[in-house]
Amino acid sequence: MIIVTGGAGFIGSNLVRGLNARGCDDILVVDDLTQGDKFLNLVDCRIADYLHKDDFRKMLQQGKLGAIEAVFHEGACSDTTERDGHYMLDNNYRVTLEIFQYCQSAKVPMLYASSAAVYGAGPVYVEDLVNESPLNVYGYSKFLFDQVLRRHLGSLSAPVVGLRYFNVYGPNEQHKGRMASVAFHNMGQFRSERHVRLFGGWDGYSDGGQLRDFVYIDDVVDVNLHFFEHAGQSGIFNCGTGLAQPFNDVACAVVNALRAQSNLPVLSHTEQVQQQLIRYIPFPDDLKGRYQSHTQADLTQLRAAGYDKPFRDVQAGVADYVNVLVKRGAI
């Protein structure tokens, strides 16, 4: 059996789908469906069983999980604005530690979600302690477990891989609310208001000019499955495209992809701004000093680990995203 925690969530449900595509359906999904609509992410997936996260944690502590092929640990509080440190460290750090301890005892490979948030404001995004300084307790919760893995790398009984996700976007993120990607929010804005909104300039960046490493969900799934299928490697690896692109690129790609559904021509960024299809709002005061204005994954270690597939840029990823939503009847 393969376990996917957070399996009804954004990355988790796409991982389940990716495993299904490879013929794996003996999958235990662990999640919390208090927000019941997340079940929609699993309706076209094949799984063997579902457990609430609290029941899973109890079984984990009691050692009652049976034979496990691997654990993909994607479950976490991903709200980077959450200030409750007690909750964040229990939910993100302590549970991850318990899963790690179980997997090492049972000699089960573990892949877990770390985050580019560990790097804080950067500017260097290389997997090394000297570059890591999280800006919020979410980033710290991920940072803390990464240090646990580093201390044990020389004595592991089974492989452990931490993937530092950069800005992931794609299908099945609709339940995330304000924490969904800018691409998702831009789509909703354009469909309802016929324009999209971006933050204005701040921190030395022009309107919509802040740069992030936006990585499409299918590429994230491929990286996870690479390490699953090439067992034996352990470590912490960046999971991004290696290409920083401005938020303006995302907005432009969204507008053009949605316009294409009505057979309307492609417009440049300048044309979209002139036609007020892209509009800018003041940068929020509560995010100043707690916001990553530039991220770009260094892929040296990921490539050295044998992952050689290209990553989609924003233009290709957003086009794929829109096409999926059209096929599902969501647009």
Q: Enumerate the active-site residues.
A: 138, 176
CB 104 within 8 A of CB 149: no
* Tokens matching residue 277: 């299809």
Cβ neighbors of 92 (< 8 A, separation 6 or more) are 76, 77, 138, 141, 142, 145
Compute the distance between CA of residue 32 and CA of residue 6 in angstroms, rounded to an integer.
Answer: 8
DSSP 127: S
CB 176 within 8 A of CB 119: no
Compute the distance between CA of residue 227 and CA of residue 240 in angstroms, rounded to an integer.
Answer: 15
Strands 160-165 and 110-115: parallel
How many C-beta atoms surround the C-beta of residue 307 within 10 A? 18
CB 313 within 8 A of CB 245: yes
CB 238 within 8 A of CB 302: yes
Q: Looking at the DSSP assignment, which residues form a beta bridge with residue 168?
A: 215
Compute the distance between CA of residue 209 and CA of residue 278 in angstroms, rounded to an integer.
Answer: 13
